[in-house]
Amino acid sequence: MFARFRRSDQASSPSGRKPRTASDLNISESDEPIPDRPESMHRWLDTEWARCIDFQMRDIEVCGTRITLFWLRGIVDLLRLETGIMQPLESVSKRRLQLRDLASVLHTVIVREISTLGEFNAAVTDGQVVLRMWGTSHALVLEVSDPPGRPIDKPENEPTLEGPQEAFVEHIQLNLALIRKRIRSPRLKVESMRVGTYSHSTVCVVYVEGVAKPTLVAEAKRRIQKISIDSLNDINKLRELIGDAPFTLFPVTDETERPDRVTSNLLQGRIAIMVDGAPNCLLVPAQFIHFLVAADDYYVHYTLTIFLRMLRHLAYWSSLFLPALYVALSSYNQDLLPTPLLITVAAQHRGIPFPSILEALVMLTIFEVLREAGTRLPRAVGQSVSIVGTLVVGDSAVRAGLVSPGMVIVIASTGVASFALPAYGFVNSSRLIQFAFVLAAGLGGLVGVLLLALILITHLVSLRSFGVPYMAPGAPFEWADMKDMFIRAPWFAMRRRPKHLEPIDSVNNRTPVPGKSKASSWDLSES
């Protein structure tokens, strides 16, 4: 007997009852059973889903049994709803219909049972269809969700010339599939939990069982479960809510949009934390050295990587100290400059109405404003504004006699050096620290720079990321882990996972050294 539609698609209408306020909401309501009578269910819906025009409800009759479907318009695949649910229901001919009979008929979609109102709301808001057969204590959830989103594209913040060209998107299931495609093992575990009073966002903890330290996994889940917030839809909130040292300028969690980076970190013993709706994920624990490592390092020959990493380290420390050293040497410690260079610097500053510290602070501020303007404007216009603006402002300032040419060169070099860093969050922290070092140089010369540098190093050494020292493997020192710090050793030489992560299985590479005829020519016990 074919199903007869008794009600067309429409939003549930309010019943005239006074809507509940936030104070009336009771968390325990999620454990209440779904009403078994249509009248009670409609009264609850008129209160819970009042003024939700996208909430859809359809009553149908199958073999004399009344069935109601509930879903949200816009996040449900209507084609699958028609072909996977409606058409199979039309083919039902059994007179004494049971809920398990419907589950066997709807074999083209994923089916599971629910029994509480909280599960009902979670299923509907996830984009699934809830099927309610009246007179039973359970309902069926039919997986036909199709939330809006963009297709998988190239990474924008972490581009590479070689290697995979895939980036995470705002759909957590697609993001997990990108990881599963690279780690095809049941030991890749994904544990999910809901966070947010109103958003009920899905947060997944991803790790490799047998590699990641169990206490590290437990600590990550414990911190996430402690979160109590209205909404959690982005990685930044999660990073600030679960990270160590909330007042430090340095990021203590790593962030990436590349599935290949997540894969390699998982196999080292780290944990990935993903949020539904965020096109990136967190990697914990994070160390200082990670923010000076680019994805390109693992797709080129190791000899070239050594040069690139050294260059990147030089660029980072130059971006911190170069303006401060120029101010200190030109204001306090002129005796350390060679005589020809001192004469040139003094000649440049002749006629400049401002001291070197004020020059540096003003130029750094102007450079940051131009950088921010270039970021906020459309891409086609922003790059032109930042480049042309910097050239015009710098040249005009020199011609007007407000700043010296040497100061413009130093500030421009500092900005270019900061662009060489692969981690955007790490760059932002160095941009702020530059100002602190310039102030220290202006007040105390090289002594002030040295004191602030000691404070900075002490602060970095004291940081922890999920219990792991932030400066590992440099402090505490681990010689075996240095193979992937300032340099990248060849793959055949990196046989063990990082010791500071305390992985369960420490060996990750048993490949013999190329050119050796016997696999026993090298010893796994060698660190």
DSSP 495-511: -B--GGG--SS-B---P
Q: Do residues 297 and 303 make contact, with C-beta atoms less than 8 angstroms apart?
A: no
Q: How many CB atoms lie within 10 A of CB 84?
A: 19
Cross-strand bridge partners of residue 193: 203
Q: Which two tokens stand for residue 453?
A: 């540098």
- Give CA separation, 155 vs 121, 163, 297, in Å: 34, 11, 16
Q: Do residues 54 and 73 make contact, with C-beta atoms less than 8 angstroms apart?
A: yes
- Give CA separation, 376 vs 109, 198, 372, in Å: 44, 30, 6
Q: Do residues 477 and 461 make contact, with C-beta atoms less than 8 angstroms apart?
A: no
Burial of 453 (0-12, 13-18, 19+ CB in 10 A): middle
Q: Which residues contact 296 (CB under 8 A, 6 or more apart)?
A: 160, 161, 162, 163, 308
- Residues of the chain with pLDDT below 70 are 1-30, 94-95, 379-388, 516-527
Q: Do residues 424 and 157 make contact, with C-beta atoms less than 8 angstroms apart?
A: yes
Q: Where are the alpha helices (DSSP H) in 31-187?
A: 38-48, 78-81, 87-90, 99-105, 117-125, 172-180
Would you list the DSSP string of 165-214? -----S-HHHHHHHHHTT--STTEEEEEEEE-TTT-EEEEEEEETTTS-H
Q: Do residues 97 and 61 make contact, with C-beta atoms less than 8 angstroms apart?
A: no
Domain ranges of the chain: 4-143, 172-286, 298-468
Nearest of 173, 227, 270 to residue 239 by alpha carbon: 227
Q: Are strands 464-465 and 271-275 parallel, antiparallel or unpaired?
A: unpaired
Three-state DSSP state, 252 = coil
Tokens 């796994």, residue located: 524
Q: Which residues contact 34 (CB under 8 A, 6 or more apart)?
A: 41, 114, 115, 116, 117, 120, 132, 137, 138, 139
Q: Where are the alpha helices (DSSP H) in 377-499?
A: 379-399, 405-419, 424-462
Q: Which two tokens stand for residue 314?
A: 């030089």
Tokens 């089916």, residue located: 111
Q: How many CB atoms lie within 10 A of CB 176?
A: 20
Q: Which two tokens stand for residue 45?
A: 């819906």
Helix H or strand E segment including 68: strand 65-72
Sign of CA dihedral 300, 306, 311, 313: positive
pLDDT confidence of residue 6: 39
Q: Which two tokens stand for residue 203?
A: 């947060």
Angle at 92 between CA 87 and CA 95, to 5 degrees: 155
Per-residue burial over 226-259, b if 16 or more Cβ lie within 10 Å, else e, is eeeeeebbebebbbebbbbeeeebbbbbbbbbbb
Please tell me the distance from the alpha carbon of residue 292 to that of residue 312, in angstroms, as a whole number: 7
The rounded Cα 325 to chain-centroid distance in angstroms is 35
Q: Give the single-character DSSP code of 91.
A: T
Helix H or strand E segment including 282: strand 281-284
For the chain, the C-alpha Rg in angstroms (whole number) is 30
Q: Do residues 465 and 287 make contact, with C-beta atoms less than 8 angstroms apart?
A: yes
pLDDT confidence of residue 30: 67
Q: Are strands 254-256 and 201-208 parallel, antiparallel or unpaired?
A: unpaired
Cross-strand bridge partners of residue 192: 204
Please tell me the distance from the alpha carbon of residue 526 to that of residue 494, in angstroms, as a whole number: 11
Please tell me the distance from the alpha carbon of residue 206 to that of residue 217, in angstroms, as a whole number: 9
